[in-house]
Amino acid sequence: MSVADEPVHKLPTGIRGLDPLLLGGLPAGRPTLVAGTTGSGKTVMAAEFLARGILTFGAAGVFVTFEESPADLRANIASLGFDVAAFEADGRWAFVDASAQPGGEEVVGDYDLAALVARVAHAVASVGATRVVLDSIGAVFSRYSGAGVVRRELVRVIAGLRELGVTALITAERTHDYDSIARFGVEEFVADNVVLLRNVVENEKRRRTIEILKLRGAPHRSGEFSFTIVPREGISVMPLALISLREQASTERVALGPAGLDAMLGGGVFRDSVSLGSGPTGIGKTLVATSFAAASAAAGERCLLVSFEESTDQLHRNAASWGLDLAALEAAGLLRVVSEYPEVASLEDHFVALRQHVDTFGPRRVAIDNLSALERISTTRGMRDFVIGFGSYVRSADITTLLTSSSSTLVGTESVTEVHASTLTDAIVLLRYVELASEVRRAVCVLKVRGAVHDTRIHEFRIDDHGMQVGEPFTGVSGILAGSVVPSLGPAAPSALPPLARPQGDRDEAG
């Protein structure tokens, strides 16, 4: 074909999160092969491609089915939230039923698939379709003998699609998730554009991924990306950091919560920032998260508080012990508390649920307590995708976000989440236990605030019935972050012990 030099026009699929991977969409007017093992989501993607075309772009579609009957497809697609029968009644969706006949067919001589081509052309003309799906093309091979003849005829079908100028999505079976592209060498004749869907088990977790293998020489994102299939919503590809960096970053500051902590941050965090609060168990991460929610309510802004560790009741009780009435905030419509066990769903499903809460509640702030609980149900890669994806999603919506994560040891360093989250977050607050003179005390340190000056000293803090009270910096000691405190050498050293922050002083500062 002589079109090789023409720029590739992209047709947006409208499928959530997919177009950014395709850097715009599928090549318009050309066929794209979607290959995957059984249950990898091929038919779902094919159906949604048509449905989104109708709902989002007003583009009619034709569904050529080789396997399931139209009646079955209508029922199955309805579970994704698309009313195919209504689309058909509106003349925007047509089926070409190429599913097997009950009695079968006997092949006695040479044949071609001109009838199929004519039917597709007829259906395309009857609804004015610009999108066509063929699902799944491998079924033709199992129905007719002679793979060579079938291949020759499918080339004819695909040439017919090209002539019609429709953007076609052709599904094909794969036998293994990491193997040749498709059975019967289908990719040989629809080789321009190939998308692979996988449904793989990794560390005992099942994970769906999508990979754009090639796109007619057009640029696209490479590698595997997680996706999930959401009832009544369809496919949702984890967006990662694909939402382009916003042109202007917010200069507005909002309070993170505890007054002393905001002072350490240099006046709160930026409006569109993602902050990470990290510390060992019991140090006060949930307190910071609930203070964040309270600060949001105080500013008259809605906050979504997601807990993966504690039940709603526990959260209310703990907040009450810090002088915070979460129920009142909920009643005022300023707070939504969502409490989930991580194990009830996959990470991708949690992501979608979070997004749905954000969409329905419309918060200006989101707090997640805590990410480490999610690690139990995730792979390292999945966790990173989650943090990047969620971060870019909330940033683009101008939502102030606080994530908490547990460090694995009581004193000192690092857990997996921190490794991945720390480079992806704008502000990091470390909470640590400090052993000083046979006493365990609490320390807080602002490790970074992107784009702002902050207090670099390590402060002591206490938790009382008014929440988190940040006191004076530790002086005369070092090694707090490393977990082994030693007296500092130098002129200030001899006194060794820092002055204990007195409760009364804390209150003054917090008030």
Concerning whether 224 is annotated as a catalytic residue, the answer is no
- What is the closest distance, in whole angstroms, from the C-beta atom of residue 3 to another protein in the complex? 26
Which of positions 340-379 make contact with another protein (CB under 8 A)?
Answer: none
- What is the closest distance, in whole angstroms, from the C-beta atom of residue 139 to another protein in the complex? 11
Residues contacting another protein: total by CB under 8 A: 27
CB closer to another protein out of 106 and 204:
106
CB closer to another protein out of 134 and 289:
134
* Three-state helix/strand/coil letters over 445-457: EEEEECCCCCCCC
Query: Using an 8 Å Cβ cutoff, are 32 and 161 in contact?
Result: no
Q: Using the rule CB under 8 A, which residue among 121, 242, 249, 263 binds another protein? A: 121
Long-range own/partner contacts, residues 377-380 (CB < 8 A, 24 or more apart): 377/205, 377/342, 377/343, 377/345, 377/346, 377/347, 378/205, 378/347, 379/202, 379/203, 379/205, 379/207, 380/416, 380/420
Query: Is 316 a binder of another protein (CB under 8 A)?
Result: no
Q: Using the rule CB under 8 A, which residue among 71, 72, 79, 122 binds another protein? A: 122
- What is the closest distance, in whole angstroms, from the C-beta atom of residue 112 to another protein in the complex? 6
What one-character-per-residue DSSP string does 58-95 give? ---EEEEESSS-HHHHHHHHHTTT--HHHHHHTTSEEE
Identify which range of 26-34, 105-113, 280-288, 462-470 contacts another protein by CB under 8 A. Answer: 105-113
Strand order from edge to edge, sheet including 61-65: 93-97, 61-65, 131-135, 167-173, 31-36, 193-202, 205-215, 224-230, 234-237
Identify which range of 117-125, 255-263, 375-383, 502-510 contacts another protein by CB under 8 A. Answer: 117-125
Q: Which of 20, 80, 72 is nearest to 48 (CA)?
A: 80
Q: Using the rule CB under 8 A, which residue among 90, 112, 252, 508 binds another protein? A: 112
Which of positions 10-49 make contact with another protein (CB under 8 A)?
Answer: none
Query: Is 119 a binder of another protein (CB under 8 A)?
Result: yes
Q: Using the rule CB under 8 A, which residue among 5, 6, 7, 104 binds another protein? A: 104
Q: Distance between CA atoms of 244 and 26, rounded to whole angstroms?
A: 19
Structure tokens of 224? 């595997």
Half-sphere exposure of 381 (CA within 13 A, CB side): 11
Concerning whether 310 is annotated as a catalytic residue, the answer is no
- What is the closest distance, in whole angstroms, from the C-beta atom of residue 100 to another protein in the complex? 9
Q: 477-478 and 467-473: which strand pairing?
A: unpaired
Which of 67, 187, 348, 375 is catalytic? The answer is 67
Q: Using the rule CB under 8 A, which residue among 6, 106, 247, 313 binds another protein? A: 106
Q: Which residues are catalytic?
A: 67, 309
Q: Which residues bind another protein (CB under 8 A)?
A: 96-99, 101, 103-116, 118-119, 121-123, 140, 144, 153
